[in-house]
Structure 1
């Protein structure tokens, strides 16, 4: 291979490896994402930077084409189109802010990382290396976030070998003593394997089956039981009455996903149910762009799609505890969890409906991300997924 092309090809290959391994669904592999700032800084041209950025992002989000094809019951073409379009923000930001000037490089990378962490670019800010902070510095909270950010800035300078060795030391220490986030004693997150029928089968039989599942968890000592996203389907007065009556002779609280629909669209929500009644607990801040959140519809005079409540209800009160809910896609981007942590909640609640991700690592990545954030801030974690 000609020397002119050798370095770009090696950087591209390394970026693909970094994206693939870091985002494999194992929380302890997340620090491998810190290879990306090094590769970004080693690029000698803006074109190489674009290739490195694309290689990392596309490898990290490799499950998207298959997941979209499953969701829409179609071939891979729509998924491939969405996969490539989603990469444009990440690639564009990192390519535009790349510079040959070493003195400016650290601040340029800090700007790129910041843009990909907050809206509007943060809306598609998947695979953000800052997620590794929870593995490198568990329990450090905001100081761990600051230390990881400082590590980013060091990795794009000539000092990167020393910085990489230091971060590797923290990584090895954390891996040696790693423990999963704790689960609150009386809380239970229920994982279901009901596939695409969850939320679509709205029969009384399905609801009674879910109620039976809740009662089985209660018999094991649980008092707050969490069901996945979309578990209740469409939220109606009939569904509310059924569940409230079933819980009337108990001291249980059930948190479950549902959809509240009106003429303009719908809200993806969590509902809290008990024998005393039901209330809307949380409205999703960031539904999945494209398949759920479709902001172009109002511009075209159309209705439909999920509403995004970007900075609403970061923390909610439930059974005397302050809870930070994260529904599905919110576990893959940075800003929802950081917004919630500003209010110092008592625990993190992560739910999802990942039936469409079968055969991919998307649900495993969501779990790993939630675990990393919970460990960073030292918060208990309750997880409930349907697959």
Structure 2
């Protein structure tokens, strides 16, 4: 009986670690608990058991995919929702079946965090770097990699590995103590993130005009006295001449608006001043949209930029975390390479039903990585309080033009 219990406990513990992403909301509970995955798998066991342990973690943590697909595409896509959940959990679990010794755990960590598999690489234990090593930057990333790489040897009794792990953990404690006594990272003064409540117009011209006006009113109301006003991701489904003129006329003198738009097949950010709207985006989403908007076979699909570049504004080096980028470690590593001084996190969660954990997972991941970099974050989110489920079920999403109008 004792042997059976000892062999079975890792699976429920991994499930609890995955559930921390659901219950933790925007706190650091999910990122911290994610470290439990490699630590549990480092124990002895067959490849099948290691896969099952990882599957317990991801199957629970990926559960919001079901409601996200249903909210985005409609109730009649239930089969696709369940398939997306199962496929994501299985795909992310597979690398953890590698033998844990000789770098197997480290390989699994990197395979699930970097493309190609990393394009769905949320819930990654890489998020734990921000919890363990606040302000550490690349030192924190290396510290986490060392911890994961050395853990199997430490479990198997190698004294040198255990000493090294003690040193890494001592560094983590020191960094956390310094973070407690140091001033918190603050966003730049007079930068404001606008929170909106706009449902996509789905090609309805009248609804688009009304949405534009609501977005302008939200910016004027919430951005009073600000220098830079950040809007949510893809609140504008186009960046045509008429839209540019409308927003350029609306921006108060002395302000800069950073608007989330969809233009030229990109989920992007454009800069607008009084009387002047930039035709070229200052940032374009690097990550793949998980709502199914990226369809390589379709020339009219939304396309990822793959590299998110820092841009200069108001004396700052600015990095935009757009939508799904907030949960993809590889895009955050791009940010680390470019040393931003401020991050703005845009998302558009109109599809999220009340109580959905997906927006909280985005926030938690953003907090963890910003904490690792010691950088302030400006958040701008579009949410709607309730979703008309009947209306959602009646919507259609042809592969071509409508995909370009979804946020």
In the alignment, does 2:370 pair up with 1:374?
yes
Tell me if the contact between 2:69 and 2:291 (Cα under 8 Å) persists in the aligned partners: no
Query: 2:381 is matched with which residue?
Result: 385
In the alignment, does 2:181 pair up with 1:185?
no
Tell me if the contact between 1:198 and 1:230 (Cα under 8 Å) persists in the aligned partners: no
In the alignment, does 2:306 pair up with 1:310?
yes
| TM superposition shift of 1:40 | 0.8
Aligned positions of 1:12-161 closer than 5 A: 12-22=11-21, 24-29=24-29, 30-74=31-75, 76-95=78-97, 97-99=98-100, 102=101, 104=102, 107-159=103-155
Cα 1:17/1:180, change in 2 over 3 Å? farther
| TM superposition shift of 1:139 | 1.1
Query: 1:259 is matched with which residue?
Result: 262
The alignment partner of 1:342 has SS state of helix
The alignment partner of 2:319 has SS state of strand
The alignment partner of 1:158 has SS state of helix
| TM superposition shift of 1:8 | 4.1
Cα 1:35/1:342, change in 2 over 3 Å? same
Query: 1:345 is matched with which residue?
Result: 340
Aligned positions of 1:350-361 closer than 5 A: 350-358=345-353, 359-361=355-357
Query: 2:158 is matched with which residue?
Result: none
Structure-2 separation of matches of 1:304 and 1:170: 51
Query: 2:400 is matched with which residue?
Result: none
Query: 2:237 is matched with which residue?
Result: 233
Tell me if the contact between 2:201 and 2:208 (Cα under 8 Å) persists in the aligned partners: no
Q: Which of 201, 205, 210 is the equivalent residue of 2:210?
A: 205
| TM superposition shift of 1:333 | 0.8
| TM superposition shift of 1:214 | 1.7
Query: 2:403 is matched with which residue?
Result: none
Structure-2 separation of matches of 1:371 and 1:289: 20
Cα 1:305/1:230, change in 2 over 3 Å? same
Can you give the 5+ residue segments of structure 1 that lack an aligned partner in the other structure? none
| TM superposition shift of 1:78 | 1.6
Tell me if the contact between 2:28 and 2:367 (Cα under 8 Å) persists in the aligned partners: no
In the alignment, does 2:8 pair up with 1:9?
yes
Cα 1:181/1:360, change in 2 over 3 Å? farther
Structure-2 separation of matches of 1:381 and 1:61: 25
Structure-2 separation of matches of 1:360 and 1:25: 10
| TM superposition shift of 1:281 | 1.5
Tell me if the contact between 2:311 and 2:317 (Cα under 8 Å) persists in the aligned partners: yes
Tell me if the contact between 1:199 and 1:258 (Cα under 8 Å) persists in the aligned partners: no
User: How many aligned positions are there?
Assistant: 368
Residues 126-160 of structure 1: per-residue CA shift (max 9 Å, x gap): 11111111121111111111112222223333359
Cα 1:26/1:229, change in 2 over 3 Å? closer
The alignment partner of 2:213 has SS state of helix
Farther-moved stretch of structure 1 (278-287 vs 221-230): 278-287
The alignment partner of 1:139 has SS state of coil
Structure-1 separation of matches of 2:199 and 2:382: 7
The alignment partner of 2:153 has SS state of coil
Tell me if the contact between 1:225 and 1:253 (Cα under 8 Å) persists in the aligned partners: yes
TM-score, normalised by the number of residues in structure 2: 0.82
Runs of 4+ deviating beyond 4 Å: 2-5, 159-165, 167-181, 195-202
| TM superposition shift of 1:332 | 0.6
CA RMSD of aligned residues (A): 2.7
Query: 2:270 is matched with which residue?
Result: 271
| TM superposition shift of 1:275 | 1.4
Cα 1:203/1:193, change in 2 over 3 Å? closer
Can you give the 5+ residue segments of structure 2 that lack an aligned partner in the other structure? 156-160, 384-407
Farther-moved stretch of structure 1 (274-283 vs 347-356): 274-283
Query: 1:223 is matched with which residue?
Result: 227
Structure-1 separation of matches of 2:7 and 2:47: 11
